[in-house]
Chain A
Amino acid sequence: MRRTLSAADQAFYDRVQAFLQAHRPLGTGADIWLDPAWCAALCEAGFAVPDWPRDWGGPGFTATQKFLWHSACCERIEGFCESPAVALAGPILAQLGDAQMQKRHLPEIRQLRQRWVVALAEPAQLELNQERRLNGRLAWLTGVADSHQLLSIARLAHAQPARWAVFCCPLDRAGITVHTRRSLAGGEVFTLEFAAVSLQNTELVCELGEVALLNLPSHQLGRSGVAVAQLSQLDRVLSTLSEEPDLETKRDTAAVEVEALKAMEARYVDALQRGVEPPFPLQLLALKSASVEQQVGSLLMDSFGYYALPYPDLWLQHNEGPVGPAGARGATQAWLERTVSENYASVSRDLYGKLAQEQQDIGEH
Chain B
Amino acid sequence: MDFSFTDEQTLLEESIARFIQNDYAFENRQKVIKSELGYSADHWSTFAELGWLGVPFSEADGGFGGGAVESMLMLENFGRGLVVEPYLATVVLAGGALKHGGSTEQKAAHLPGIVDGSTQAALAYVEPQGRFNLADLKTTAKADGDGFVLNGYKAVVLNGPAAQTLIVTARTSGEQRDEKGVSLFIVAADAEGVSRRDYPTVDGLRASEITFDNVQLGADALLGELDGGYALIEQVIDDGILAVGAEAVGCMEVLYKDTVEYCKTREQFGQPIGKFQVLQHRMVDMFMEHEQSKSLMYMAAMRLDEGYGPEAQKAVSAFKVQVGKSGRFVGQNAVQLHGGMGMTDELNIGHYFKRLTIIDTLFGNVDFHLKRFGRL
Binding site for B on A (CB under 8 A): 1-5, 9, 64, 248-249, 251-253, 255-256, 259-261, 263-264, 266-267, 269-271, 273-274, 279-280, 284, 287-288, 359-360, 362-364
Q: Is the CB of B306 within 8 A of A3?
A: yes
Q: Is the CB of A260 within 8 A of B1?
A: no
Listed from nearest, the 6 A-B pairs whose CB atoms lie closest are A363-B280, A263-B295, A252-B374, A260-B292, A3-B302, A2-B2
Q: Is the CB of A259 within 8 A of B296?
A: yes
A2 to B299 Cα, complex, angstroms: 9
Check: B318 CB closer than 8 A to any chain A CB: yes
User: Considering residues A64, A249, A263, which has the most beta carbons from chain B within 10 angstroms of its beta carbon?
Assistant: A263
Residue of B nearest to A252 (CB): B374
A218 to B31 Cα, complex, angstroms: 50
Check: B131 CB closer than 8 A to any chain A CB: no
Q: Is the CB of B4 within 8 A of A288?
A: no
Binary contact track B287-329/A, C-beta < 8 Å → 1, others 0? 1100111111011011101100000000100100110000000
Binding site for A on B (CB under 8 A): 1-5, 69, 277, 280-281, 283-284, 287-288, 291-296, 298-299, 301-303, 305-306, 315, 318, 321-322, 370-371, 373-374
B residues less than 8 Å from A1 (CB atoms):
2-5, 69, 298, 301-302, 305
Chain B interface, >50% SS class: helix
Q: Is the CB of A253 within 8 A of B283?
A: no
Given contacts A256-B318, A263-B298, A273-B1, 9 further A-B contacts (CB under 8 A): A1-B5, A3-B306, A259-B296, A259-B315, A260-B318, A263-B295, A267-B3, A280-B287, A360-B277
A residues less than 8 Å from B299 (CB atoms):
3, 259, 263, 266
A363 to B276 Cα, complex, angstroms: 10
**In the complex, what's the smallest C-beta–C-beta distance from B259 to chain A, in angstroms?**
13
Q: Is the CB of A263 within 8 A of B1?
A: no
Q: Is the CB of B322 within 8 A of A260?
A: yes
Q: Is the CB of A256 within 8 A of B291?
A: no
A364 to B280 Cα, complex, angstroms: 8
B residues less than 8 Å from A64 (CB atoms):
1
Residue of B nearest to A264 (CB): B295
A279 to B4 Cα, complex, angstroms: 12
The answer to whether residues A264 and B277 also contact, given A2-B1, A253-B370, A269-B1 and a CB cut-off of 8 A, is no
The answer to whether residues A251 and B318 also contact, given A270-B2, A360-B277 and a CB cut-off of 8 A, is no
Residue of B nearest to A273 (CB): B1
Q: Is the CB of B292 within 8 A of A288?
A: yes
A276 to B69 Cα, complex, angstroms: 20
Q: Is the CB of B277 within 8 A of A363?
A: yes
A364 to B78 Cα, complex, angstroms: 30
Q: Is the CB of B318 within 8 A of A259?
A: yes
- Give the residue of A9, A267, A362 whose beta carbon is less than 8 angstroms from that of B295: A267
Residue of B nearest to A4 (CB): B1
B residues less than 8 Å from A360 (CB atoms):
277, 280-281
The answer to whether residues A252 and B1 also contact, given A266-B295, A287-B288 and a CB cut-off of 8 A, is no
